[in-house]
């Protein structure tokens, strides 16, 4: 059985696992009370480890697999842009996808020249990865690129990025990509660039806030938590939104150019 078929077949398991993960995560929050000083100062090693365990391995791993299963059954999403053929099955991993991951991870790494605490420039290549390519390519772009960025630019611990922070970040963008693809390809408003941008802005702000909030809770006790949330809403989220919209505009231009090229190559020659 191919990987895509296994993911689709396991969707119910992933859904149940996700519900259990959410419940366990809530219980862990109530027991460990990370918003107090019980786990030490902000971003202490103990907090980092608890964050890795509960944010990724307990909460977001099954949610990510659920997202993978959704993408796995969408042939249009998995096909290279401009090359989709009705009835053809497209693999999750092939040479094209490996190349796309490597290329986009390199762009994501290069964006680390600006530290995300100052300006989230990496949101631009992340957006292109999940919109022009597909959400699974975006997931691995963030994971691999995050490790490389930590190694080259020192934006975090590369071991922590490999073991949990990277895939957790990738999971955020995996679902942003799913929301984008659904809206663009399954609604009557999806072919209007203005509506796509408005949809993206709304989803980006809401999803990143909700999906990343537990990270800040695990890493920061009160009152450091409030300071971190002020930074999140006044600097990280606005800068990431600005960069992501730029990435979305670039992706839309590439998508339309690829579509025009396909139509021209398919037209009969006179």
Nearest to 115 by CA among 231, 13, 22: 231
Give the separation between CA 145 and CA 65, rounded to whole angstroms. 20
Give the separation between CA 21 and CA 19, rounded to whole angstroms. 5
What burial class does residue 167 get, using C-beta atoms within 10 Å of its C-beta: 0-12 exposed, 13-18 middle, 19+ buried?
buried
Confidence band for 259, pLDDT divided at 50, 70 and 90: confident
10 Å Cβ neighbour count for 260? 11
Residues 6-35, buried b or exposed e (16+ Cβ, 10 A)?
ebbebbeebeebbeebeeebeebeeebebb
Domain ranges of the chain: 3-262
Tell me if the pTM is above 0.85.
yes
What share of the chain has pLDDT > 90, as a percent?
Answer: 92
Q: Is 190 helix (H, G, I), strand (E, B) or coil?
A: coil
In order, the DSSP letters of 195-233 are: HHHHHHHHHHHHHHHHHHHHHHHHH--TTHHHHHHHHII
pLDDT digits (tens, 9 = 90+) for 74-95: 999 999 998 999 999 999 999 9
Q: Residues 164, 51: contact at Cβ < 8 Å? A: yes
pLDDT digits (tens, 9 = 90+) for 218-231: 999 999 999 999 99
How much is the pLDDT for 260? 61
């Amino acid at each position: 059985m191919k990987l895509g078929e296994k993911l689709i077949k396991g969707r119910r398991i992933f859904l149940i696992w996700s519900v259990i993960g959410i419940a366990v995560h809530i219980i862990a929050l109530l027991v460990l009370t990370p918003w107090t000083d019980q786990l030490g100062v902000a971003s202490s090693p103990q907090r980092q480890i608890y964050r890795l365990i509960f944010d990724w391995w307990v909460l977001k791993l099954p949610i990510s697999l659920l997202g993978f299963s959704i993408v796995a059954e969408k042939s249009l999403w998995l096909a290279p842009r401009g090359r989709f053929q009705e009835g053809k099955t497209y693999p999750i991993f092939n040479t094209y996808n490996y190349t796309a991951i490597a290329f986009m991870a390199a762009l994501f790494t290069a964006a680390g020249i600006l530290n995300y605490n100052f300006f989230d420039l990496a949101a631009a290549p992340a957006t292109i990865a999940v919109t022009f390519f597909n959400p699974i390519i975006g997931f691995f772009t963030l994971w691999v690129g995050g490790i490389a960025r930590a190694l080259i630019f020192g934006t975090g611990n590369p071991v922590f990025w490999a073991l949990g922070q990277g895939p957790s970040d990738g999971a955020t963008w995996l679902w942003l990509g799913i929301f984008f693809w659904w809206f663009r390809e399954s609604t009557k408003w999806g072919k209007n660039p203005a509506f796509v941008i408005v949809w993206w802005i709304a989803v980006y702000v809401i999803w990143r806030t909700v999906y990343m909030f537990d990270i800040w809770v695990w890493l920061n006790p009160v009152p450091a938590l409030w300071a971190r949330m002020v930074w999140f809403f006044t600097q990280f989220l606005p800068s990431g939104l600005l960069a992501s919209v730029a990435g979305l505009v670039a992706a839309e231009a590439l998508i339309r150019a690829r579509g025009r090229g396909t139509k021209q190559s398919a037209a009969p020659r006179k």
